[in-house]
Amino acid sequence: MKGRMENFKYNISEILELPKDVVMDLPKIVVVGNIQVNISNHKGIVEYTQETLRVNSSIGLIKICGTNLELKTILSEEIIVKGNIEKIEIYS
């Protein structure tokens, strides 16, 4: 049932030319070089240190690794982290 609903949402977003991240409740990750990551449509922070940020999302955990990581913005719809970004992993 879930697969059919996701397929339906995908088709609707294609037909109406709507953003898939909004229609399908997907996170949107924007990487600016190796100095900043913006995550929209998240489900909350699981872990935060200067070397690791783990964020919950509808597709699983998003893990950002680096050095001198600093949360610049924490909103219900967006997180912005700055620092020396070394790696981004997604665990479903």
For 50-71, the pLDDT digits (tens) are 999 999 999 999 999 999 999 9
Give domain status of residue 8, yes or no.
no
Q: Is residue 3 part of a domain?
A: no
Triad 58, 14, 8: Cα angle to 5° = 60
Residue 17 within any structural domain of the chain: no
Domain contains 74: yes
Residue 39 forms part of a structural domain? yes
Q: Are 73 and 79 in contact (CB under 8 A)?
A: yes
CATH number at residue 32: 2.60.40.2000
Phi and psi at residue 49, in whole multiples of 5°? -135, 180
* Residue 23 confidence (pLDDT): 65
- The Cα–Cα gap between 12 and 88 comes to 30
Residues 81-87, mean pLDDT to the nearest whole number: 97
Domain interval for residue 52: 26-91
Segments in the chain forming alpha helices (H): 2-16, 20-23
pLDDT in tens, 10-62: 777 777 777 776 667 789 999 999 999 999 999 999 999 999 999 999 999 99
The Cα–Cα gap between 34 and 38 comes to 12
Structural domain tally of the chain?
1
Predicted local confidence at residue 19, as pLDDT: 72
